[in-house]
Amino acid sequence: MHLQLFADAAPSASESLPALSEDLISTVHWIMWAFMGICIGWVIFQGARYAVASSQGRHEPEQLTRAVSGLFGLIVIGGAQLVVSSLAGDGEAEPQDAPIEPPLTPAPPVPAAPAPDEPMNWTPFIAVGAIIAALIGLALLGLIAFRARNQIADRKAAAADREKDWHTARTIFDQTRTKFADYLADPHAVFERPTLDDHTDPFTAAFLTALADAEALHTETVPRSAQRIDEFRTAAATLAAAWAAADQNARKIGMGVLTRGQRKTLTTIKRVLAIALDESATAGERETAMRTVTRLAGELPIAVNTDRIVQKLTLSLENAQRKALTV
């Protein structure tokens, strides 16, 4: 009788196990929820960084890779949630009733109490939703990466086109300036196309204005602004057209209508100019020849700018004197 009383009072080991297993499962669930929250925050953070970098034209695939790793982690944790929930459901054992000794006297029948409704377990549904959300996130990241790649490719193509346009414009600009420089360096050209030195001539004035505009827009490196490149390209084309018109006009006019005496004077100028430019002649001979050229140029019907020739002769004489002093 005493043994039976002690046995009835002692707690059963099987009654404490379900409580312990429920606490453990609840703890695991909370840990998994925490990791899922971390994964979601990580995906949002890396996705935002990748979007900002893409909007600024920078391609940083490592950020997209980190975001994808967070989505995979979310899928794995969601699957683990499903596994834990299924195991918890399978492991719940039906409570076993303790053996009851038949009463000595029949007890009156007691109506059975209605079984309480068990709470709905939403964990599997939430885990499935997390997995679906992770898959949708992967698809969205793939779409973002695809669009960002296309945008970067478009920007590179546009930059290449702008650079090509700039190089083309600079080639036209350099060629036109070279033609004008050749004219300035040729002392005989001033007697063949003197109108190019006449700033009052409308064709020459238009060319000089176009030259100043193009030089103001010219840079040594490719500008970043597409508008600046377009402006320089337009200015270079305008410069080339203006030079062609001015040069054609100067060649057409030439020295104008010359009399027989003026043609003879022009022939004399060319012969004496050759002496002035001859480095083998003495300094006195060259200076005398240059004075003769300047005097005869005043007899021509069109004014000729001989200052450039005088400057070139002066520079040549100074170089010859320096060479003579160093010998």
Which one has a higher pLDDT value, 273 or 105? Answer: 273
Determine the Cα–Cα distance for residues 286 and 279; give it in Å rounded to an integer.
8
pTM: 0.54
Determine the Cα–Cα distance for residues 199 and 298; give it in Å rounded to an integer.
18
Report the mean per-residue pLDDT for the chain. 77
Q: Which pLDDT belongs to residue 141? A: 74
C-alpha distances in Å from residue 225, one per residue of 101, 111, 230: 98, 90, 9
Q: What is the CA radius of gyration of the chain?
A: 49
Segment 62-90 shows an average pLDDT of 70
Going by pLDDT thresholds of 50, 70 and 90, the confidence category of residue 122 is low
Structure tokens at 51: 């979007």
264-319 confidence digits (pLDDT tens)? 988 898 898 888 888 888 888 888 988 998 898 888 888 888 888 888 888 877 77
Which one has a higher pLDDT value, 197 or 319? Answer: 197
- Is the pLDDT score of 124 beyond 80? no
Structure tokens at 259: 């009399």
Q: Which pLDDT belongs to residue 6? A: 40
DSSP 187-198: TTGGGT-GGGG-
Which one has a higher pLDDT value, 263 or 87? Answer: 263
Determine the Cα–Cα distance for residues 72 and 91; give it in Å rounded to an integer.
28
Q: Give the single-character DSSP code of 105.
A: S
153-193 confidence digits (pLDDT tens)? 767 777 787 889 899 999 999 999 999 999 998 888 888 89
Q: Which pLDDT belongs to residue 9? A: 46
Q: Give the single-character DSSP code of 15.
A: H
Which among 323, 324, 294 is positioned nearest to 311, based on CA atoms?
A: 294
